Structure 1
Amino acid sequence: MGGLVRTLKDLTAFVEKEAAAEGPAAQAELQAQRDRFRIARELAMLRKAQGLTQAQLSARAGVPQSEISKIESGKANATGLTLFRMAHAMGHVFRLEPVGSAVAPTRPRRSVAGKKGRAVRKGAPRSRELEPA
């Protein structure tokens, strides 16, 4: 690594610069890794917020506790079915969103009067990767 990397911010900047230099495929792979870690972090936070242990989630979801541990730590690339089972066991579902919607902060929609008194939606819909079922 050229230059001294002292902080996580420095490392992140270095990795992003390298991915940009390697081209679109490397940038897409970097984004896929970010998404995987984000989902793992959200699942772990949701499990903890519900006061569940990995063993309890395992029993509810039918997913081995060891796999849940690997997913939450980012050591495993979970299948869609496994992620669905985990989310569903905690009363949530996954939702697909257009690419780029997760990048920009979102705000709740609000209606304002448009031309001729019709209601017009403003702002992006509020979104979360996991939402209650």
Structure 2
Amino acid sequence: MRDMVEQTVKGICEAYGATYDFDFMYGYSSVVNSTVEMDALRQSAVKVVGEKGVFEVPDMMGGEDFSAYTDVKPGCFFALGGGEAKDGYGHINHSPEFKVDDNSLPVGTAVFVQLIKDLMID
């Protein structure tokens, strides 16, 4: 990626007779869920909300600093749904229009508690 960006900058500068200084800052790595942790979370979530309440989110290109944790220890990033788009809840958490459905918070807490209980049993 770094080389592609620099080549683009270089090409534009050459085309317009400009010069440039290039300093590429690396950010966070990609978030990659651990299969073991993801399976454990899924099983616990199903106990709380049922099979129909749990689904996989498609891969996406959003930026997320959660990878700083999973670079150190395997983990699992998950999304907690809440509310319907027709009621203004159709925006993701980094959107300025994001709105929290307070009714989803006890559900998320229950999933975490169930996961802790399940992990303590193993």
TM-score normalised over the length of structure 1: 0.25
TM-score normalised over the length of structure 2: 0.26
- Bigger Rg, structure 1 or 2: 2
Which of the two has greater helix per residue? 1
